[in-house]
Chains A and B, each alone.
Chain A
Amino acid sequence: MGVEPWMVIASAGVAGFGLARHLTGVLARPFRPERARPAGSPAAGVRYAFTTGMMPWAKESTRIHLLAYLRGIVFHAGIAAGLIGLGLALWDPGLPSAFRLLLSAALGAGALAGWAGFAARFAEPGLRALSTPDDYVSVALVSLFLTAGALAWWDARWMDAFLLLGAATLVAIPFTKIRHCFYYFFSRYFFGLFYGRRGVLGGAHHE
């Protein structure tokens, strides 16, 4: 039995509904902005948080863990490609083979980065001590999704597996650690607001 497009669309609906619940949950909590006179620009801080502040050279931690950070970037770029691939698979616009190969390569690179991260969680004692079962399940699920995607855009016989794993990943977003993709925007926003307002980051002396 093949995977019907409505299954993926329904899963996207679950993801959307679940994230909407998270959004209403966050917005229901009080927002307590700092009332002190600003020493710098909150807007500049937020800009910094989402731009130069995310560059690999911007932080000591990412300079130390450059490979792990780049692995994360490739993994997340792969996820973006996976979601695009999932949408295109539903629509099936008859893409040129070069584009299919490109998508397959992006998904493959993401999958490799995902599995490497998965292995690192097992192999590195510090990371293993820090991990919850959710960390393994989520990374494995997304890596499987990307692996299937890489295969599906290479060979259409894998398309059902890709759609099924895509649907599962979408459902998992609001319920597992995958939802950090949603909270990322809040966290970086508050980070930028805090340090921009206090004149620490985002100002001329810093950049």
Chain B
Amino acid sequence: MSESVAIALQAFEKVLDRRLTAALEVCARCGICAESCHYYVSTPDPAHVPAARAEQVRAFYRRRHDPIGRVLPWLAGAKDLTEERLDALQETAFASCTLCRRCTINCPFGVDTALIMRAARGMLTAAGKAPEMLVMLADAAIARGENADEFREIYREIVSGLEQEAQARIGDPSLRIPLDKKGADILYVGLSGAHTILPAAIIFHEAQASWTLSMFEASNYGLFLGDPSKAKAIATRLVDEAVALGVKDVVLTECGHAYAALRWEAPTWFGGEFPFRVRNIEEVIAEYIQGGRLTLDPSANPESITYHDSCNLGRNGGLLEAPRIVLRAAVQDFRELTPHGTDSLCCGGGGGLVAVPEWEEIRMRAGRRKAEQVREAGVPVVATSCENCNLQLTDLNAYYKLGVRVVGLMELVVNALVKAKERQGLPLAEAA
């Protein structure tokens, strides 16, 4: 047994808990899951059946843990893990599964194939076989957390520039983007790039929210690596910041995996609930709309608009209604995709695929069904509340020549907000 195989198996045994054991044991290989996977639907290859994908892990699990697998491996479909099989697992776990759990919802046993694939990712990461780009991004995020003070001043300058942009957008010089504001109610966490900060700043300003901007970005590449120690190190930056500032809520920008990481996974890594709530910006906007804190004019978004549910926010995060509350208030003609909600098709950009350039062709092929679904909807605009989905849908739009515009929900809200104020003929701050 090679050293990397030994390390990988050690990592596997470490995560082999009751839930993973059940997922590995229960599959009857009925194949009913096939069409639930966007890879299989786009390229009907038996290797893309979720059960077949998980068999790569089950084979060595049975070799190690099933008595018949040890004695009569051919009968049980048991195989030793070898260097070659570990290499083959790399593409399966990292490039051929977006961890969307559509197969889980559709499996009569509820087999959690994403859990199995995440265990495989953890093994590969431990063995040094994870995609370099994902490792680099995770390490860079950890390094930024460790050297936050070095970035603080330059970040402050950048944010000051953004503040002026936001003021100009709404014609209100009183708009502020606070940083390090102790006692604020909300710590808002964006992504690299102004597009996640500017609309949020306008929305918070208009809702007269007490907020402050995080020094860090919401994404967590440790989650994609299946490496809880790296994922925890990345999340620690936000947890420490939120605790130091004493905020009530950490509000994450439009990012599906960031929500999955901090809202659902991180409390388990830290061993308990946080002293603050973790929320997604769509939840907060929906609350502002329902509470009358934002006045929107949907005529600002007159085109027919459909919504793509991010798997991490919707099916796996429970945020199915909030984005729809936002859309119904912010756009004139909202139309659902078929299927949507818990049955929504993955766009093919999740699980870190968008970040790895060499997988572009794979994810374009995997997104074929989503592209067809958008085309069938016949609308000019597709909204989404996840950055990775947004990037993937934008790429699919170009690749399949869909002729649509892909937008974030916050952008639509800001359009509707500005229009409402214009209609009233009032400066935004006064009207609020």
Binding site for B on A (CB under 8 A): 22, 25-27, 29-37, 39-40, 49, 53-54, 59-62, 64-65, 68-69, 72, 124-127, 129-135, 137, 175-177, 179-180, 183-184, 186-188, 190-192, 194-195, 198-201, 205-206
A183 and B26 contacting across the interface, CB-CB below 8 Å: yes
A135 and B29 contacting across the interface, CB-CB below 8 Å: yes
B18 within 8 Å of A (CB atoms): yes
Known A37-B277, A137-B75, A187-B23; contact A72-B268, beta-carbon cutoff 8 A: no
Out of B22, B264, B314, B315, which one reaches A186, CB within 8 Å? B22
B26 and A198 contacting across the interface, CB-CB below 8 Å: no
Q: Taking the nearest CB of chain A, how far is it from the CB of B229, in angstroms? A: 15
Known A69-B32, A129-B46, A200-B316; contact A191-B104, beta-carbon cutoff 8 A: yes
B342 and A34 contacting across the interface, CB-CB below 8 Å: no
Residue of A nearest to B74 (CB): A133
Residue of A nearest to B317 (CB): A198
Known A30-B18, A39-B318, A175-B67; contact A126-B26, beta-carbon cutoff 8 A: no
Known A36-B273, A133-B75; contact A184-B32, beta-carbon cutoff 8 A: no
Interface SS of A by simple majority: helix
Out of A54, A61, A135, A175, which one reaches B106, CB within 8 Å? A61
CA distance A130 to B111 in the complex (A): 16
Residue among B25, B44, B106, B272 with the highest chain A CB neighbour number at 10 A: B25
A61 and B318 contacting across the interface, CB-CB below 8 Å: no
Out of B109, B265, B277, which one reaches A184, CB within 8 Å? B109
Q: Taking the nearest CB of chain B, how far is it from the CB of A18, in angstroms? A: 9
Residue of B nearest to A191 (CB): B110
Query: What is the 8 Å Cβ interface bit string for chain B, positions 309-344, against chain A (1 contact, 0 not)?
Result: 000001111101100000000000000000100110
B8 within 8 Å of A (CB atoms): no
Residue of B nearest to A30 (CB): B17
Q: Taking the nearest CB of chain A, how far is it from the CB of B381, in angstroms? A: 25
Interfacial chain A residues near B21, Cβ < 8 Å: 25-26, 29, 186
Interfacial chain A residues near B321, Cβ < 8 Å: 205
User: Which of B49-57, B87-95, B150-158, B288-296 contacts the other chain?
Assistant: B49-57
Interfacial chain A residues near B391, Cβ < 8 Å: none
Instruction: Pick 13 A–B contacts, CB within 8 A, sort by A.
Output: A36-B267, A68-B32, A127-B31, A130-B49, A134-B77, A137-B75, A176-B68, A180-B25, A184-B26, A186-B21, A190-B112, A200-B314, A200-B320
B316 and A130 contacting across the interface, CB-CB below 8 Å: no
CA distance A59 to B106 in the complex (A): 5
Q: Taking the nearest CB of chain B, how far is it from the CB of A38, in angstroms? A: 9
Out of B25, B31, B268, which one reaches A36, CB within 8 Å? B268
Residue of B nearest to A22 (CB): B25
Known A130-B51, A176-B68, A201-B342; contact A60-B25, beta-carbon cutoff 8 A: no
Interfacial chain B residues near A32, Cβ < 8 Å: 17-19, 268
Interfacial chain B residues near A34, Cβ < 8 Å: 264-265, 267-268
Known A26-B22, A132-B77, A200-B342; contact A49-B110, beta-carbon cutoff 8 A: yes
CA distance A40 to B264 in the complex (A): 13
Known A29-B17, A198-B264, A201-B342; contact A187-B26, beta-carbon cutoff 8 A: yes
CA distance A137 to B26 in the complex (A): 17
Query: What is the 8 Å Cβ interface bit string for chain B, positions 271-294, against chain A (1 contact, 0 not)?
Result: 111000110000000000000000
CA distance A179 to B47 in the complex (A): 25
> How many B residues touch A, CB cutoff 8 Å?
64
Interfacial chain B residues near A127, Cβ < 8 Å: 29-31
Out of B23, B30, B107, B342, which one reaches A72, CB within 8 Å? B30
Interfacial chain A residues near B29, Cβ < 8 Å: 127, 130-132, 135, 177
Residue among B109, B273, B277, B339 with the highest chain A CB neighbour number at 10 A: B109
CA distance A200 to B101 in the complex (A): 12
User: Which of B33-41, B167-175, B215-223, B398-406 contacts the other chain?
Assistant: B33-41
Question: Top 7 closest A-B pairs, CB basis?
Answer: A191-B110, A132-B77, A199-B318, A61-B106, A129-B46, A186-B22, A183-B26
A205 and B320 contacting across the interface, CB-CB below 8 Å: yes
Interfacial chain A residues near B317, Cβ < 8 Å: 198, 200
B16 within 8 Å of A (CB atoms): yes
Q: Which residues, 90 to 143 on B, are CB-close (under 8 Å) to A?
A: 104-112
Interfacial chain B residues near A29, Cβ < 8 Å: 16-18, 21
Interfacial chain A residues near B22, Cβ < 8 Å: 26, 183, 186-187, 190
A130 and B26 contacting across the interface, CB-CB below 8 Å: no
Interfacial chain B residues near A195, Cβ < 8 Å: 105
Q: Taking the nearest CB of chain B, how far is it from the CB of A88, in angstroms? A: 27
Known A37-B277, A180-B25; contact A60-B106, beta-carbon cutoff 8 A: yes
Interfacial chain B residues near A132, Cβ < 8 Å: 29, 75-77
Interfacial chain B residues near A36, Cβ < 8 Å: 263-268, 273, 278
Interfacial chain A residues near B34, Cβ < 8 Å: 126
Interfacial chain A residues near B30, Cβ < 8 Å: 68, 72, 127
Q: Taking the nearest CB of chain B, how far is it from the CB of A29, in angstroms? A: 5
Q: Taking the nearest CB of chain A, how far is it from the CB of B101, in angstroms? A: 9
CA distance A62 to B105 in the complex (A): 11
Known A134-B75, A205-B320; contact A194-B32, beta-carbon cutoff 8 A: no
B198 within 8 Å of A (CB atoms): no
CA distance A135 to B34 in the complex (A): 18
Interfacial chain A residues near B36, Cβ < 8 Å: 60-61
B46 and A130 contacting across the interface, CB-CB below 8 Å: yes
Q: Give 10 A-B pairs besides A127-B31, A180-B27 with Cβ atoms closer than 8 angstroms.
A: A32-B268, A35-B272, A36-B268, A37-B273, A37-B277, A61-B107, A125-B46, A130-B55, A190-B18, A191-B110
Q: Taking the nearest CB of chain B, how far is it from the CB of A187, in angstroms? A: 4
